[in-house]
C-alpha cells in the first residue's frame, strides 16, 4: 500500500470533485462545498444544493422536541400531551432501525449506529417519491415532525434546495411497508385534486402574464425558509396537467424546473451509491408507467424509483404532473456520462 503524503484524486464525472490530501494540521477545518448528502456518516457529492440537518437552517429529524413550538412547551413530554397523533406513535423518536432481513449479529452491529455501507447497500433498493401538499419544505417538516411524528430522509423545496433530515442508514417513517428498504423524498408541491375540485387547487397559484401560472404562497417565500432569493416559483409546464392515478382522474400543476434539476441529480447519486436502486420506474408490459399501486408480489420484487402511490392504494403522490422520463431519463444520462468520462480518465492515465 502506497504511503500517500500529498496527492490529488479526481473523479471526472457528473459528480466530479477533487480532494487534495495534504499534511493535516490540528484543528484544521475540513471544507464542504454544499452539495453533499450523508450516508453512513460519509459525505457524497450530488452537484445539487444540499442542506444537512447539521447545517444552519437545516431540519433535524433526530431531535425529539417540536421544531416550531416555543421551547418551553416543545419537549416530548409536553408535545405528547398536546398533540394526540404524536402520543399515538409510542415514543419520541420519529425514525427507527432498518432491522428487516438482518440476522441477530448484524442487528447488534448496526443498532449502535455502526452501519457499514456494503450492508446498507444490500438492504436499500427503493427510492420513494412523494409530494408534500405544502407550499414549501419548512411547512412539510412542521407537519411531519411536530404534528404527525413522521420523518423522511429528504425534502425538496420549490427553489431546488435539498434538505436531508436523517442519515440514510435510518429507517424513516414515510412509506409504510417500504420504510425498511427505501429512501424517501418529500417534494414541495400542493398536490393533485379531483378535476371537480379544481378550484381548491387554483387558490395556491396566481395567473402569470405569459398565460401560465406562478406559485402563490400564503406568505412571502423569504419568510417561509426558501433559500433562493429573490424567488418566483413557476411550474415547469404552464398548463394544468390531468391524468389518472389509482383509477381517479386528477389535476395537478407541475413541479418547478429547479426541483426537477435537483431531483435528477439526487436520483443519479442514489442509484450510483445504492446499486440495487435501478434507475427506472414501474412499467407495464408495454413499457408504460404503471399509474396505480403495485400488486403485492410486484412490489416485493421491485427495485428502483417509484411513487408513493405504487406502495399504497390510498396515495396519489407524486401525482399525474410528475415527469418520470425527465427525472429518470436525466439521471440515466448523468450516470452514463459518469461511466464514460471515468473510463476516459482511466485510459488517459495509463
For residue 325, CA distances in Å to 72, 247, 305, 333 come to: 48, 21, 11, 11
| CA-closest candidate to residue 193, choices 210, 176, 205, 185 | 205
Longest alpha-carbon distance in the chain? 69
44 near 33, Cβ under 8 Å?
no
Grid-cell match 464542504, residue found? 32
Per-residue pLDDT, 11: 32
- How crowded is residue 150: how many other Cβ atoms within 10 Å of its Cβ? 19
What domains are defined for the chain?
Answer: 7-194+240-348 (3.40.80.10)
Q: Give SS3 for 245.
A: strand
Q: Is 59 exposed, middle or buried (0-12, 13-18, 19+ CB in 10 A)?
A: buried
Q: Is 265 exposed, middle or buried (0-12, 13-18, 19+ CB in 10 A)?
A: buried
Return the ∠ at Cα 60 (arms to 149 and 165), rounded to 5°.
85
Dist CA 269 CA 335 (whole Å): 8
Per-residue pLDDT, 86: 94
Query: Is the link from the previous residue into 230 a cis peptide, with omega within 30 of 0?
Result: yes
Provide the H-helix boundaries in the chain: 76-82, 84-87, 104-110, 117-123, 137-141, 198-202, 257-273, 296-301, 324, 330-348
Dist CA 191 CA 134 (whole Å): 8
- How crowded is residue 161: how many other Cβ atoms within 10 Å of its Cβ? 23
**Tens place of pLDDT for every residue, the chain, 350 residues?**
333 333 333 333 334 444 455 677 999 998 899 999 999 999 999 999 999 999 999 999 999 999 999 999 999 999 999 999 999 998 999 999 999 999 999 999 998 868 999 999 999 999 999 999 999 999 999 999 999 999 999 999 999 999 999 999 999 999 999 999 999 999 999 999 998 888 888 899 999 888 899 999 999 999 999 999 999 999 999 999 999 999 999 999 999 999 999 999 999 999 999 999 999 999 999 999 999 999 999 999 999 999 999 999 999 999 999 999 999 999 999 999 977 666 555 455 55
DSSP assignment of 260-280, as one string? HHHHHHHHHHHHHH-TTS-S-
Per-residue pLDDT, 241: 96
The helix-helix angle for 257-273 and 330-348 (nearest 10°) equals 50
| CA-closest candidate to residue 308, choices 245, 249, 255 | 245
Name the phi and psi angles at 185, rounded to 5.
-135, 130
Per-residue pLDDT, 23: 75
> In this structure, what DSSP letter does residue 210 have?
T
Amino acid at each position: 500500500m502506497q504511503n500517500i503524503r500529498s496527492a490529488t484524486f479526481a473523479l471526472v464525472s457528473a459528480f466530479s470533485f477533487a480532494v487534495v490530501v495534504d499534511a493535516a494540521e490540528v484543528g484544521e477545518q475540513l471544507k464542504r462545498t454544499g452539495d453533499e448528502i450523508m450516508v453512513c456518516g460519509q459525505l457524497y457529492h450530488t452537484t445539487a444544493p444540499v442542506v444537512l440537518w447539521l447545517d444552519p437552517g437545516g431540519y433535524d429529524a433526530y431531535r425529539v422536541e417540536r421544531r416550531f413550538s416555543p421551547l418551553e412547551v416543545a419537549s416530548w413530554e409536553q408535545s405528547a400531551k398536546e398533540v394526540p397523533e404524536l402520543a399515538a406513535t409510542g415514543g419520541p423518536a420519529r425514525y427507527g432501525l432498518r432491522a428487516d432481513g438482518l440476522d441477530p449479529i448484524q442487528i447488534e452491529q448496526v443498532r449502535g449506529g455502526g452501519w457499514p455501507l456494503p450492508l446498507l447497500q444490500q438492504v436499500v433498493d427503493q427510492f420513494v417519491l412523494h409530494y408534500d401538499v405544502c407550499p414549501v419544505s419548512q411547512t412539510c417538516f412542521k407537519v411531519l415532525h411536530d404534528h404527525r411524528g413522521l420523518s423522511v430522509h429528504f425534502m425538496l423545496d420549490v427553489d431546488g434546495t435539498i434538505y436531508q433530515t436523517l442519515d440514510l442508514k435510518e429507517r424513516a417513517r414515510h412509506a409504510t411497508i417500504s420504510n425498511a428498504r427505501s429512501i424517501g423524498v418529500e417534494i414541495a408541491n400542493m398536490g393533485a385534486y379531483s378535476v371537480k375540485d379544481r378550484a381548491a387547487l387554483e387558490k395556491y397559484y396566481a395567473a402569470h402574464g405569459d398565460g401560465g401560472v406562478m406559485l402563490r404562497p400564503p406568505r412571502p417565500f423569504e419568510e417561509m425558509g426558501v433559500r433562493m432569493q429573490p424567488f418566483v416559483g413557476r411550474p415547469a409546464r404552464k398548463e394544468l396537467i390531468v391524468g389518472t392515478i389509482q383509477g381517479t382522474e386528477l389535476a395537478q400543476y407541475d413541479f418547478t424546473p429547479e426541483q426537477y434539476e435537483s431531483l435528477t441529480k439526487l436520483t443519479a447519486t442514489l442509484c450510483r451509491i445504492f446499486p440495487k436502486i435501478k434507475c427506472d420506474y414501474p412499467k407495464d408490459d408495454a413499457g408504460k408507467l404503471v399509474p396505480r399501486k403495485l400488486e403485492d408480489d410486484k412490489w416485493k420484487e421491485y427495485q428502483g424509483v417509484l411513487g408513493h402511490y405504487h406502495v399504497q392504494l390510498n396515495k396519489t403522490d407524486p401525482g399525474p404532473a410528475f415527469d418520470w422520463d425527465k427525472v429518470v431519463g436525466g439521471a440515466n444520462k448523468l450516470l452514463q456520462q459518469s461511466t464514460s468520462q471515468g473510463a476516459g480518465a482511466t485510459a488517459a492515465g495509463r
